[in-house]
Structure 1
């Protein structure tokens, strides 16, 4: 998969629009909910920021992924949830307010954590012959521009023009999911003859990461005596990642076609696994 207009222009622009749509649905209460539901928010953030990368590291060792594929899988683990996780929490009858709060809070952390953690992962996994580097400060600024800035813009629009915000936020959420499918479809179409090999390389690891993340998030939430709706939302926030952001980091900012492979396989599988999980918790 070569760097082209898709990775250099369309992906960053689509992520900007998706994050703008997220901002249109956010209120100040979505950030202050940590004070009214501190236990649920703390468990959700801990599972997403700590547990998910740990599970990814174990799977990398278990499946023996090559260095670049391993970094790609870790990038998925470093990403927050997004509009997809919020939509899935709603469909699974989870705590939608908690889901939105977790997405909002983690989305403010990850522009800073993703470059640092990715640089650390590459220093451990890649050897000197693999010429990939990530300028941390520049990458942080780029992620701020395409994630935090549109969220803030969306919140300002929501505050000043609530009717316009109410009319546009749902179409943009639908756009975010549809566009992720279109992006993946474009990548699949361009690399049709290699897709079987991509799934051989990372399919099982992606399947295991998504399945284990959903399961562990749900089990830990139940063991922590959270209610069912909270447990559902936390598990979905941990297991359903922002695939568009992962593709931007791997394909646009790092320029690695190999590192995008786990993002493609994970993004395809997470809808199937997430749908099965939603059916199971509400069966």
Structure 2
């Protein structure tokens, strides 16, 4: 395993992505939960409960190898990515709800991600392999997650104009760095990458489609507005793959477990774009021009 990827290649992209999230956040994004508890609660149920169950079902159905199975469970437990805000904006979702969900999910993941990862290792991996969570590394990763968010929020509070100017450059840098992390994760397993792609490519695509669909259909069926349902769909379908890869490579120390997140990190963007166009073109956004129930912020 390439130590440079672990010591430099992962912390910097993850910190930049989370700093970008912080630049888009204000304390109101956390307080907004009280204004629309049903929307937030429904999205969290889909993210925290339904997705891990779906991932577990797919892993069993496809009969994935144990380490890849753990990698998929890590992916399912990872929070939504900041790019969901952009997709929501492009396809007329409730961007303010996306921002709120990303903020809350990123905090909750501090607890849920290690729990799901630990359970997956205990369930899928033989005890004799001595694979497990390294809690000192876990603390380092979540420090890299939380501290940049706090710094970004501080910067926005002190200079909103600067935060707005930096939004696009930081998003661009985040996308480029995510690509580099994905390529790096695949490179660490270059000898087996063709086999892994054949094993996880289809299940990753299926999981992405199900995630987007569940994220949209369940909230819509429960009475949320179209724009809220679109926001939930993208929030649940677009994961923070960088964090999932960091969890596999840094906290657990296993490159094979990072493959599902790396493959998903490539596939989720075109699939999410097609999903957005299908939803919009079918005319399900008929009330998109109505006043947003959560807010009108844009990314």
> Where does residue 36 of structure 2 map in the other structure?
37
Gaps in structure 1 of 5+ consecutive residues: none
Residue 73 (structure 1) shift: 0.3
> Where does residue 149 of structure 1 map in the other structure?
147
> Where does residue 213 of structure 2 map in the other structure?
215
Are residues 1:49 and 2:28 paired?
no
Contact 1:22–1:169 under 8 Å retained in 2: no
Matches within 5 A, 1:194-205: 194-205=192-203
Identify if the C-alpha distance between structure 1 residues 47 and 130 changes in structure 2 by more than 3 Å, giving closer, same or farther. Answer: same
> Where does residue 126 of structure 1 map in the other structure?
125
Higher mean C-alpha displacement, 163-172 vs 192-201: 192-201
> Where does residue 81 of structure 1 map in the other structure?
80
Equivalences, count: 281
Matches within 5 A, 1:1-283: 2-136=1-135, 138-188=136-186, 194-283=192-281
**What is the distance in 1 between the residues matched to 2:216 and 2:161?**
36
Contact 1:53–1:77 under 8 Å retained in 2: yes
**What is the distance in 1 between the residues matched to 2:188 and 2:117?**
27
**What is the distance in 2 between the residues matched to 1:259 and 1:189?**
13
**What is the distance in 2 between the residues matched to 1:240 and 1:217?**
10
Residue 144 (structure 1) shift: 2.7
Higher mean C-alpha displacement, 221-230 vs 196-205: 196-205
Residue 65 (structure 1) shift: 0.8
Residue 139 (structure 1) shift: 4.5
- 1:240-272 deviation digits (Å, cap 9, x = unpaired): 100111111111221111101101111111112
**Any idea what SS the aligned residue of 2:8 has?**
helix
TM-score (norm 1): 0.94
Contact 1:22–1:173 under 8 Å retained in 2: no
Contact 2:182–2:262 under 8 Å retained in 1: yes
Contact 1:250–1:259 under 8 Å retained in 2: yes
**Any idea what SS the aligned residue of 1:129 has?**
helix
Higher mean C-alpha displacement, 126-135 vs 193-202: 193-202
Higher mean C-alpha displacement, 228-237 vs 126-135: 126-135
**What is the distance in 2 between the residues matched to 1:261 and 1:190?**
9
- 1:12-33 deviation digits (Å, cap 9, x = unpaired): 1210111011101101111111
**What is the distance in 2 between the residues matched to 1:211 and 1:268?**
14
> Where does residue 294 of structure 2 map in the other structure?
none
- 1:124-151 deviation digits (Å, cap 9, x = unpaired): 1111222211134x34422331111111
